[in-house]
Amino acid sequence: MQEIKETNSYRLALKDKILDAAMNAFMKCGIRAVKMDDIAQQLTISKRTLYEIYEEEGHHVIDVILEAYRIKMNEVRTVNPSFYEDIMKYPKVEKYIKEAKKQSRGKFLDFMQLGVNQGLLRKEIDYNMVPHMFDAIGKHIMDNHLLQRYTVEQLFVNFFLVSLRGLCTPQGVKVLDEAVTKIQ
């Protein structure tokens, strides 16, 4: 019995390490440039072990998205909501944020294409429009001071998660719902 517990805790820890390595590699190199072999090699594990931890390859994209969400939520919890409103009052900062969004757009589109290829995201969506939708949601949240009335988690679930579910195939919705229940 002790051996099973140790194996399960090892696998959970390894799953977290895989997510961290994958997310860092995606951010550094872009989605398409990163192969499962690269992640396995970085962690000095076999590709087989990597796939055993992630029973289905399709879970990979959703898990990484939700891991990014979890990390961001942990960062955001420590920041006073008025910071986000105040920071946009500085033109140089606003310009910097807009430029950073433009630069990350290509990575976002690659990431969405990976989700389409894995059958998790719908093919018929014009993913060039999706960043505009998320920007509009963010602007609405800021313009209406919703950070002062709701938690970041509430806003994420009711704005971003609902929108993300709309991009998913039925398989993607199932995977997303399973992943969300794990992080709540």
* Cβ atoms of 23 and 67 closer than 8 Å: yes
pLDDT digits (tens, 9 = 90+) for 147-160: 889 988 888 889 98
If residue 6 lies in a helix (H) or strand (E), which one and from where to where?
helix 2-29
Lowest-confidence region among 53-57, 64-68, 83-87, 140-144: 53-57
Mean pLDDT of 6-13: 69
Q: Is the pLDDT of residue 126 over 50?
A: yes
Residue 176, CA atoms < 13 Å, CB-side half-sphere: 21
| Residue 61 pLDDT | 59
Stretch 49-65: mean pLDDT: 62
Specify the DSSP element, H or E, that contains 47: helix 47-53
